[in-house]
């Protein structure tokens, strides 16, 4: 019995010793994430960006990366770091992308202060935790881990962290033009546009590889009128004219479309779905111009089969006892790749009638870009990296409806692929841009070894 007790005690001691470094590493990862989330890097607070870039510069040094450039611009900052190849293969660099800025959050709307990091029910919470500071932190941690393991890249690894992705995107505009020599790469890996989804019981849904994104454009609808006294209504009324235009836009269905990104996405979904959705997708793939199947699919996968436009802001009139002299609205469109911004404006104008003028808000638009070509080296590396934690997990190419920094690089000839080692739980909202934003704890920590393996395969 004494010998048996000694053996059990030794085994427990060994397990505890093995667990200690893992616990220490996990705590260090959490602590860094907490510091990053608690910096309110929102538009108009350049001091917070200076604090974050100072912290990140120090963290890159821990990874042996000393070539760090911080650009002050447009009331924010952009950080560009480079890990030079230790054994150059002649291949162009890889660009790793994320953004430092987050959407503003009103403390009065939140149960807890939005920039107070906390852990609750298996999640880390705080503004920016999901979009995009989890993935940004994951990049830094993965580079530190690669350095700790003695990894020697065979091509330069460049990091681009922008400070205004959620607003004007001046950082990536400048990076793609005037700072191009600092970020020029064979392709970009955008950690703001990929990742995985897992069921609560551990079953994997899929990992997603973004290869295309819709064009973003805001349109200003304005109705003007000479107005008058409200006691004498006239048949022409600016508010009514604008309301009619908005109702027409609400009812309109743009032409169904398909491209390489959505076709690949739908083919994999159909292969894995043996139910009604799978059959519906097969009908759509057989004839993407068929409106009936396209409309049914669009109801299940909003934004995936066409351009979509929606009213987002509204104002009108100048006094409660006066006929309105002006009424205006903002209509936001996410435009299918291949469709011109101006063509959509013309369509909106035709729907709105002669009493409403439709103009493009030129400052809002992102570049019109085609999908990045699917590459087996990236897809295979991504699948293999994910398989280190989730064997057999499918990797699905897709087109995102949301706008990212990636469009600006695609527009200048740098293909971009949305990836991510982190994962969330199917059916659980992250609250990105909304209240109580959160990221799954296991997904946050689990992204590090997946990202390490991804970079090892692509840059090793």
In the chain, what are the domains? 18-193+404-459 (3.40.630.10), 215-364 (3.30.70.360)
Q: Rounded to 10 degrees, what is the CA torsion of 147, 153, 155, 157?
A: -20
pLDDT, position 7: 56
Predicted TM-score (pTM) of the model is: 0.90
Average of pLDDT values for 79-85?
A: 98
Those residues whose C-beta lies under 8 Å from the C-beta of residue 275, and which sit 6 or more positions away, are none
Closest by CA position to 106, among listed 97, 117, 115: 115
Give the integer Cα–Cα distance in Å for 452 and 63: 13
Place of tokens 């001046």: 170
Of residues 6 and 277, more confidence is placed in: 277
In the predicted model, what is the mean pLDDT of the chain? 94
Token reading at 428: 């659980």
Secondary structure of 29-55 as H, E, C letters: HHHHHHHHHCCCCCCCCHHHHHHHHHH
Q: What is the pLDDT of residues 169-228, one digit of tens each?
A: 999 999 999 999 999 999 999 999 999 999 999 999 999 999 999 999 999 999 999 999
**Alpha carbon of residue 136 to chain centroid:** 12
Q: What is the pLDDT of residues 223-253, one digit of tens each?
A: 999 999 999 999 999 999 999 999 999 999 9
- 394: number of Cβ within 10 Å: 17
> Element (H or E) spanning 112, and its range?
none
Token reading at 448: 């590090």
Instruction: Please state, in angstroms and as integers, the Cα–Cα distance from residue 372 to each residue in 29, 114, 441, following that order.
Output: 33, 36, 31
Q: Rounded to 10 degrees, what is the CA torsion of 391, 396, 402, 407?
A: 110
Which residues, listed in sequence order, are joined to residue 196 by a DSSP beta bridge?
207, 423
Q: What is the pLDDT of residues 415-454, one digit of tens each?
A: 999 999 999 999 999 999 999 999 999 999 999 999 999 9
Give the integer Cα–Cα distance in Å for 188 and 159: 9
Closest by CA position to 399, among listed 160, 215, 128, 220: 215
Token reading at 367: 């570049």
pLDDT, position 269: 86
């Amino acid at each position: 019995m004494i010998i048996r007790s000694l053996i059990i005690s030794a085994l427990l001691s060994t397990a505890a010793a093995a667990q200690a470094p893992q616990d220490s590493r996990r705590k260090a990862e959490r602590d860094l994430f907490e510091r990053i989330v608690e910096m309110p890097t929102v538009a108009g607070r350049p001091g917070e960006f200076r604090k974050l870039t100072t912290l990140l510069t120090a963290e890159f040094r821990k990874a042996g990366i000393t070539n760090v450039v911080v650009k002050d611009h447009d009331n924010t900052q952009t950080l560009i770091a480079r890990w030079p190849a230790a054994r150059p293969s002649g291949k162009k660099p890889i660009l790793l992308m994320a953004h430092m800025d987050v959407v503003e959050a009103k403390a009065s709307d939140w149960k807890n202060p939005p920039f107070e990091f906390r852990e609750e029910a298996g999640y880390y919470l705080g503004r920016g935790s999901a979009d995009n500071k989890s993935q940004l932190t994951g990049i830094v941690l993965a580079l530190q881990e690669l350095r700790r393991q003695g990894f020697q890249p065979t091509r330069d690894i460049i990091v681009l962290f922008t400070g205004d992705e959620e607003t004007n995107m001046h950082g990536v505009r400048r990076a793609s033009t005037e700072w191009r020599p600092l970020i020029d790469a064979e392709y970009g890996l955008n950690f703001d546009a990929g990742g995985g989804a897992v069921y609560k019981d551990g079953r994997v849904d899929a990992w997603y590889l973004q290869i295309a994104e819709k064009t973003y454009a805001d349109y200003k609808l304005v109705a003007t009128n000479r107005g008058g006294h409200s006691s004498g209504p006239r048949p022409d009324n600016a508010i009514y004219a604008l309301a009619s235009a908005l109702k027409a836009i609400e009812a309109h269905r743009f032409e169904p479309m398909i491209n390489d990104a959505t076709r690949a996405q739908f083919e994999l979904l159909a292969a894995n779905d043996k139910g009604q959705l799978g059959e519906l997708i097969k009908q759509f793939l057989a004839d993407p111009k068929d409106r009936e199947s396209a409309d049914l699919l669009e109801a299940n996968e909003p934004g995936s089969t066409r351009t979509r436009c929606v009213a987002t802001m509204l104002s009108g009139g100048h006094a409660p006892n006066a006929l309105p002299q002006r009424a205006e609205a903002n209509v936001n469109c996410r435009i299918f790749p291949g469709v011109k911004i101006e063509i959509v404006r013309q369509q909106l104008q035709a729907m709105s009638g002669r009493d409403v003028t439709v103009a493009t808000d030129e400052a809002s638009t992102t570049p019109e870009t085609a999908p990045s070509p699917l590459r087996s080296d990236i897809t295979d590396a991504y699948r293999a990296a994910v398989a280190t934690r989730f064997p057999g997990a499918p990797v699905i190419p897709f087109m995102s409806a949301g706008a990212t920094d990636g469009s600006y690089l695609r527009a200048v000839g740098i293909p971009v692929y949305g990836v991510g080692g982190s994962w969330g739980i199917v059916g659980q909202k992250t609250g990105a841009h909304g209240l109580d934003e959160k990221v799954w704890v296991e997904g946050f920590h689990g992204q590090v070894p997946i990202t390490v393996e991804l970079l090892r395969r692509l840059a090793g």
